[in-house]
Amino acid sequence: MSTMNLYRWSGYAAILSGVLGIAAGLMEFSSMEETLILETTYIIQSALMLFGILGVFAVQHEEVGVIGFLGFILAVIGTALLVGGSWEIAGVPSYVWGGTLSGFGLLLLAIGTLSANVFPRWIPVVWILAVVVGLPSMMIPSLASITLLLASTLFAVGFIGAGVELIKGKFGITKESEAMV
């Protein structure tokens, strides 16, 4: 598989992950109960997000620096925990561990992405805003449902945007190399 095809497939995964993330967030917000459909949607969304994160990192791996690399590692581990079933450590559910690691990882990856200047700036800015908007949910339980919906929607919109950019495939392609693709 060519590198360009890898980017494109990763882009499709990122877009689908974003769409499913918005759908799952709205389902959860509207019903406030966990169902098999909701849980399955989150698992598929998280699995697709892994492939999206891989593409986002791959196109800028040389430019994101150490912070971006650490963010990538944390985001992959956190997202894998979201896919990997339910368990607890010290009474804290796996989705809390996964969401926290994934969110913090995406924050660091977004900072690296800003400095890399490979994606349009609005994409990492939206990811940073998602973390800022989502923080009150951890500290003020009465705000949890609305802030988590807004944060997950912002993350999703960022992934949709990143996916579109990955599909366009204009990363470091010169006129000469574009003619060869």
pLDDT tens digits for range 48-85? 999 999 999 999 999 999 999 999 999 999 999 888 77
pTM, to two decimals: 0.87
Integer Rg of the chain from CA: 16
φ/ψ (deg, to 5) at 118: -95, -45
pLDDT averages per 10-residue partition of the chain, 181 residues? 90 97 88 79 93 96 96 95 82 86 95 96 96 80 79 95 94 48 44
Helix (H, G, I), strand (E, B) or coil at 35: coil
